[in-house]
Amino acid sequence: MNELKHFMNRKNILIMIFFITLSTFAQQEVLFKIKIQPNKYYSTNLKTFSNFEIDILANETILQRFVLKGIKLPMIATDSTVVPTEIFTYKPLENGTFNAKIQYGDVFKKKTLNGELQTKKNQFSGVKILGTYNVNSKFKIDTIIGQRINQQLKTSLSAILENAQELIKFPEKPLKVGESFENELPTTIPMEGFNPIKIIIKSNYLLTEINNGIAYFDVNQAIKIDMIQEQLNLKANGSGVGKSEYNIEEMYLTKYSSDISMNFSMKVKEEISTIVKAETSMNFEVTIRPFDGIAENAIELHSQKLTCADFKTGRFYIPENVKLAKISIISKDSLNSKSNELTFERDPSIKKYVVIREKNTQVEWKNGVNNGNPEHEIIEWIDECTYRLTYNKNKSVLNDEKKWVNENNGIVVKKIRIIGKCMEYKATMTTKEGHEVSQNGTICKD
């Protein structure tokens, strides 16, 4: 299978590993901006999680009232949300604008208070929004499709979509590695049983690396309280760290993660104070690919139906594309363990790979069945969505490169996501020297 294709050239990989430790890169300046582009498909998965410890400082008489009400102190609460979103953008119009459709998957919110779990499906679930992006990537809503649509939901969606690109406000001047900039982002922290806390997160973004079209940022954050809440005897302090990745070609933020620790104190009455310790995290990842509108119905039809089980047997194909020409290598003895990429020259005669798969074996052909000599591989299923591939020495004579793959315990292929009739995967091999070699790709039902 093509998950193995570019792992075969051991010499190139070893040369890459050698030059990772020796090479230095010229300073490159980039003007960063967030821009939604036409004829694109954006798939985003956003996850947030918060953990709270809430205590009350008061005299014994007041604390006894909490006990009588069955309230255990300190209260332990959690809050988590998963928000899957898809954006389909269409061809540009004469004035530079373009139509788009934004749709939410199933949005679930989970809360616990002293161990008692509540799960609620958010009203955004299944909602589709039709509208238009202008040349500045501002979205104007035209139509909202979904159940229980009311004015409050429309107002909330408008605010979210209007500020969707405002997570990071990049400076108007170009940046190079080693330079930084700052942002302030108003944020509301939900708290079970209490009013939400409004804070401002001040973030410093340091550009640490530009590698293979991806800009990497380290994020340091500090918390300050909203002025209005400061007047309500609310005090807060906290700090956090994070990482961010920006795709230069796509002009889009494709990864972001942040972990923040916070402490709050508020005097409710002269004799009662509330003390809160909070840990909150947020991360999202965006997949972007070309979109011409033709495949939209197939994406919508199959996105909720196919599972990993559908990719265990049958006939499949792997399209030859830019992804398959790139290998990422992480050296385990590296101090920063950052990924570096090696790009291979693709064979223009190969358009796709056809795979005939049974449960524990597969045969792979180039451009079609019975075209040339196939590759025979063994599949070892690790779990429902992860498997290991090795070459089958009983079906064909293995050259040195294929033996090397087998000697390094083969390739572990893990599902990233299923979209339409295709599964995006990450294929990884860990060499005996401790280097992690990986490649992303896509396999589709034929």
Place of tokens 């409050």: 152
Give the model's pLDDT for residue 307: 87
Place of tokens 């310790």: 277
Give the model's pLDDT for residue 303: 45
Give me the amino acid identity at 252.
Answer: Y
No. of helices (H) and no. of strands (E), the chain = 6, 23
Element (H, E) at 145: strand 139-145
- 315-332 per-residue burial string, b: 16 or more CB within 10 A, e: under 16: ebbbebeeebbbbbbbbe
Contact 392, 1 (CB under 8 A): no
In eight-state DSSP terms, residue 203 is: E
Give me the amino acid identity at 190.
Answer: P
Token pair recorded at residue 267: 């005097």
Give the model's pLDDT for residue 9: 52
Give me the amino acid identity at 291.
Answer: F
Place of tokens 């995290």: 281
How far is it, in rounded angstroms, from Cα 312 to Cα 300?
A: 22
Q: How many CA atoms lie within 13 Å of 216's alpha carbon, on the beta-carbon side?
A: 10
Give the model's pLDDT for residue 332: 55
Element (H, E) at 244: strand 234-247
Token pair recorded at residue 301: 């039809």
Q: How far is CA 330 from CA 16, 23, 340, in A?
A: 11, 15, 7
Token pair recorded at residue 266: 């508020």
User: Over the Cα atoms of the chain, what is R_g?
Assistant: 26
Domain ranges of the chain: 5-26+306-445, 40-290
- Cβ-Cβ contacts under 8 Å for 328 (sequence gap 6 or more): 339, 340, 341, 437, 438, 439
How far is it, in rounded angstroms, from Cα 135 to Cα 395?
A: 57
Q: Identify any residues that bridge with 189 across adjacent strands, giving them in sequence order.
A: 197
Token pair recorded at residue 130: 């039709």
Q: How many CA atoms lie within 13 Å of 416's alpha carbon, on the beta-carbon side?
A: 19
pLDDT tens digits, the chain, 446 residues: what are they?
Answer: 555 554 445 545 544 444 443 343 445 789 999 999 999 999 999 999 999 998 988 888 888 888 888 888 888 989 899 999 999 999 998 889 999 999 999 888 898 887 888 888 888 888 888 889 998 888 888 888 876 677 777 777 777 776 666 678 899 999 999 999 999 888 877 665 566 777 888 999 999 999 988 999 999 999 887 655 544 577 888 999 999 999 999 999 999 999 999 998 887 777 788 888 999 999 999 999 988 765 454 444 444 468 888 898 998 888 655 455 456 666 555 444 455 555 555 566 776 788 999 879 999 988 778 877 888 999 999 998 999 999 999 988 888 888 999 999 999 999 888 877 788 888 898 888 888 888 888 888 87
Using a 10 angstrom Cβ sphere, with 0-12 exposed, 13-18 middle and 19 or more buried, the burial of residue 211 is: middle
How far is it, in rounded angstroms, from Cα 96 to Cα 362?
A: 48
Give the model's pLDDT for residue 302: 42
- Cβ-Cβ contacts under 8 Å for 48 (sequence gap 6 or more): 79, 80, 81, 280, 281, 282
CATH number of 5-26+306-445: 2.40.128
Give the model's pLDDT for residue 329: 62
Place of tokens 């570019």: 6
Give 40-290's CATH code, choosing from 3.30.1560, 2.30.230, 3.20.20, 3.30.2010. Answer: 2.30.230
Other Cβ atoms less than 10 A from the Cβ of 37: the count is: 17
Contact 139, 100 (CB under 8 A): yes
Contact 180, 203 (CB under 8 A): no
